[in-house]
Amino acid sequence: MKKSVLIFVAAILLVAMLGSLFFAGAIYDAENKADIDTFFFEPGISPDQRIEMPVDAENIPVNRLRQMLISRFVNEYFYVIPVVENATARSNLAGADSKSVSPLVGLSAPNVTKKWQQTVAPDIVKMTEDKMLRFVDVRKISEAESGHLTVEYELRTWTRPNDVLAKPEIEKGTMYIELKDQPLKVDNSQETVQNLQEGYDPASAFKFFILSVERD
């Protein structure tokens, strides 16, 4: 008797769960009336796809560390999320704690930041207000004999919010970066340590300076 009751209760719970999933899917897709196939995410099997322990900067090769900082800079230069406060804080770099807002300030000269404010920031604010989303993919970083870096990147922009069927608009570009001739190392000064404790972006802890940026 008890076993029959348990089986009956389990069947009721299963039906209720399936019904909830059905109605949740219907509500989520009420606008487009589209069917969505389910699939499973498979965890990464290679070491660089797994979550690992933090690595000390001194244990990362200089070239690799520089590429990581350049990738971070390019991402901050272009990315867009549909949050107006984010775009406003990034575009307003006049405050004393501006380094905590965006690593653009800590990684680049004032003329680079000013040029970004005048040419890129307004577009980011407008895209944010229109609820757009833009991801940045740094495809290749190469170094010329002059020391300048050539960065090939790809921008993927979703212009329609909450549309799972929409495909991104893809734009490819090239960025030419001039770096200050100085060793790449971590600034261990008391001021930097204090800044990090107050929430400044970790990129600002590196002695790494971008003098100029040009784009195709």
Model pLDDT for residues 99-144, shown as the tens digit of each residue: 555 778 778 888 998 999 999 999 999 999 999 999 999 999 998 7
Give a yes or no: residue 147 inside a domain: yes
The range of the structural domain enclosing residue 151 comes to 60-215
CATH code: domain of residue 141: 3.10.450.230
**Percent of residues in the chain assigned helix, strand, coil, to nearest 5:** 45, 20, 35
Does the residue 164 lie in any domain?
yes
The better pLDDT of the pair 188, 167 is held by 167
Asked if residue 155 lies in contact with residue 135, where contact means CB atoms within 8 angstroms, the answer is yes
Asked whether residue 26 is domain-assigned, the answer is: no
Query: At 98, which helix (H) or strand (E)?
Result: helix 98-101
> Which pTM was predicted?
0.69
Q: How many domains does the chain have?
A: 1
Cβ 82 vs Cβ 131: under 8 Å:
yes
How confident is the model at residue 53, as a pLDDT?
Answer: 60
Mean pLDDT of 86-106: 69
- 51 band by pLDDT with thresholds 50, 70 and 90: low
